[in-house]
A and B are shown apart, each in its own frame.
Chain A
Amino acid sequence: MKPFSWRFIRMWQRNRDVFLRLWHAEAPGFVAEPILVLLAMGLGLGAYVGLVDGQRYIEFIAPGIIASYAMFSASFECTYGSFWRMEHQRTYDAIIATPLSVEDVIAGEIFWGATRSLMTGSVILAVAAAFQLVHSPWALLMPILSFLSGIMFSSIAILFTSLVPSFYSFNYYFTLFITPMFFFSGVFFPLSSFPEILQTLSWILPLTPVVHLARALFWGEFHLNLLVALVIIIVLTILFFSISLVTMRRRLTV
């Protein structure tokens, strides 16, 4: 594996400039939808749900919604977005003919995906705070957690992107990987309501540790398991980040 350099920031800046030109076309996806889900599920479904410790259902799902939509932002950016730039616009080809290397380009993409997670996470956090769903100042760390998990999900997504032949392949990614995580990582119901085997399995899903950390930050309640969650996130991030640099170099420099 070749390391990336500070020049990755140039790719990040390129994506930022495009975003600043076109963000209004994307705003409904990364702002309106999570808020709709939060309110519809939280207030609508929540009216029928009683939680053991007297928590309101909308309070229970808010941190998980932030974690999930941070994941969606990074995943869309580094699958459809990256593939479009790579194959259709040939943006990568143009850039790797300059002093930027493949590794710089991919690192720029990953950090940009993480920046999208950061933005999404921060906006929903503000909405949640406005609805008085936040109970601890620790929640101010949510944007950082969104960014960190954004690096992880961007890395996984761009690794997948580096391997697929066509746009349609991303249907598999979202149907078989992202959507199951949305439902089985403890966002909408506590993992303890699953059979033992599913509880263990759900810890394989990278969203699970993020949801646990997010919920802890919302309530300011910490326990030792969270350290494990943090370690899982960091290890997965380093792992997928490194592999994606190798597979992308293989794809782009034939």
Chain B
Amino acid sequence: MAIILAQNLTKKFKDLLAVDDVNLEIEEGECFGLLGPNGAGKTSLVRMITAVSPPTRGNIWVLGKDLKVYPRQVKAILGVVPQLDNLDPDLTVLQNLITFARYFAIPKQEAYRRSTELLRLFQLEDKHNSRIRELSGGMKRRLLLARGLINQPTIIILDEPTIGLDPQARHLVWQNLGELKAQGITQLICTQNMEEAATICDRVAIMHQGRILTQDSPQALVSRYVGDEVLEIEANSRNRGKIIEKLTSRGLDFVDMGDTIQVCHVGRDELARTMMNFPERLRQRPATLEDVFFRLTGRTLVE
């Protein structure tokens, strides 16, 4: 049984269809990534799943419980890590965790025990008495993550967990998330970082204009939409038109990126034969989730 099940989920704002008839099934223990450009509807979708925004249409079940009927019970087993820092700046680091534990009705001593343990786990123990404004971006993000775990959630939902972090801090967060996965905690992650999605997610869904375009494991998406390798032709010369004509006539699958042309699902030798009469250089590189993302959501800015 899916741990999160959403059916025909729709969210409409005044004149914007933010989420358009989305179906989603997230399995217990998996790390599921929601990918999409800005305005794709990821945050609206997650706000509905975390019971802070009522769907315009559709239903959500978490652990078999209807979210409309049992919002409190569902929220009690969710850990939510928002993108924007909403730590309580009026309280110290430790007080932030203890106060949050109180919202979950965790007894005082237990709250203190869990808080100090989480601070140790996230390497924040020497900061326990600091004000929030004294923390670096990475520390704040780790504290948000610690706060999201204070109720020992079954599911943790993260919105852009590593945005704005330096590589060291990012890897530390990924490592933490890996440990949570090993403990069997289901994860739902919104991200625009393709490397993040490919590294930590078991499955990803690509969202665009309120809809889920496709979902599968990152590897499966890459081989389905791009192939294992991408061949790039540097094509800013006057031959560009001719090259495109040639590729089209051969029925090859390519994307015109402006300065380069990316050819998918093709062997190097086959492409080399096709390009025999052109002097342009060919570059071969492994295909990534980013190529899939571009293929599906286009290259133009959405907003």
Which one of A59-67, A95-103, A173-181, A207-215 contacts B?
A95-103
Contact B82 A99 (CB under 8 A): no
Given contacts A90-B84, A101-B71, contact A253 B95 (CB under 8 A): no
Q: Mark A1-31, 1 if CB is under 8 A from B, else 0.
A: 0000001001001100110011000000000
Chain A positions within 8 Å of B52 at CB level = 93, 96-97, 252-253
| A10 and B88 contacting across the interface, CB-CB below 8 Å | no
C-alpha spacing A167/B57, complex, angstroms: 34
Does chain A have a CB within 8 A of B102?
yes
| A101 engages B86 (CB within 8 Å) | no
1/0 contact string of A178-222 vs chain B (CB within 8 Å)? 000000000000000000000000000000000000000000000
Could you mark each residue 68-98 of chain B with 1 if its beta carbon is under 8 Å from any beta carbon of chain A, else 0? Answer: 0001100110101010101111110001000
Distance in Å: Cβ of A80 to nearest Cβ of chain B: 14
Contact (Cβ within 8 A) A89 B89: yes
Partner of A97, one of B80, B99, B102: B80
Nearest CB of chain B from residue A89's CB, rounded to whole Å: 6
Give chain A interface residues in 87-145, CB to chain B under 8 Å.
89-91, 93-101
Question: 0/1 per residue, B32-58, Cβ < 8 Å to A?
Answer: 000000000000000000101110000
Q: Determine which of A13, A14, A93, A99 lies in contact with B75 in the assembled complex, contact meaning CB atoms within 8 Å.
A: A99
Report yes or no: B13 in contact with A254, Cβ–Cβ below 8 A.
yes
Choose among A91, A96, A97 the residue with the greatest number of B CB atoms under 10 Å from its CB: A97
* In the assembled complex, B254 has its CB within 8 A of some CB on chain A: no
Closest chain B CB from A3 CB (angstroms): 13
Contact with B along A73-96 (1 / 0, CB 8 A): 000000000000000011101111
Tell me the interface secondary structure of chain A in the complex.
Answer: helix
* Residues of chain B contacted by A89 (CB below 8 angstroms): 86, 88-90
Is A14 a contact of B99 with CB atoms below 8 Å? yes
Decide: A94 and B88 in contact? CB cutoff 8 A.
yes
Chain A residues whose C-beta falls within 8 Å of the C-beta of B80 in the assembled complex: 97
B293 within 8 A of A: no
With CB as the reference atom, state the residue of chain B lying closest to A14.
B99
Complex Cα gap A99–B75 (Å) = 5
- Beta-carbon contacts under 8 Å, B1-32 to A: 13
The CA-CA distance from A96 to B103 in the complex, in Å, is 9
Interchain CA distance A17-B54 in the complex, whole Å: 32
Chain A neighbourhood of B278, CB < 8 A: none
B294 sits at the interface (CB 8 A): no
* Contact in complex: A99, B103 (CB < 8 Å): yes
Contacts of B90 in A (CB 8 A): 18, 21-22, 89
Q: Which residue of B lies closest to A15 (CB)?
A: B90
A107 to chain B, nearest CB (A): 14
B135 at interface by CB-CB < 8 Å: no
Contacts of A93 in B (CB 8 A): 52, 82, 86
Whether A99 contacts B105 in the complex (CB less than 8 A), given A90-B84, A93-B82, comes out as yes
For B150, the closest partner residue in chain A by CB is A98
Q: Is B100 an interface residue (CB 8 A)?
A: yes
Q: Are A98 and B104 in contact (CB under 8 A)?
A: yes
Chain A residues with CB under 8 A of B72: 99, 101
Which chain B residue lies CB-closest to A252? B52
Does B54 contact A94, Cβ atoms closer than 8 Å?
no
Chain A residues near B78 (CB, 8 Å)? 97
Task: Name B102's contact: one of A10, A94, A96, A254 (CB within 8 Å).
Answer: A10
A sample of 15 more A-B contacts (CB under 8 A), given A7-B105, A10-B105, A17-B99, is A10-B103, A14-B99, A14-B102, A18-B88, A18-B91, A89-B86, A90-B86, A91-B86, A91-B88, A94-B100, A97-B82, A101-B71, A252-B52, A253-B52, A253-B53
Binding site for A on B (CB under 8 A): 13, 50, 52-54, 71-72, 75-76, 78, 80, 82, 84, 86-91, 95, 99-100, 102-105, 151
Q: Could you name 28 residue pairs across A and B whose Cβ atoms are closer than 8 Å?
A: A7-B105, A13-B99, A14-B88, A14-B99, A17-B95, A17-B99, A18-B91, A21-B91, A22-B90, A89-B89, A89-B90, A90-B82, A91-B86, A93-B82, A93-B86, A94-B88, A97-B52, A97-B80, A98-B75, A98-B100, A99-B75, A99-B76, A99-B104, A99-B105, A100-B103, A253-B54, A254-B13, A254-B53
Chain A contact residues, CB within 8 Å of chain B: 7, 10, 13-14, 17-18, 21-22, 89-91, 93-101, 252-254
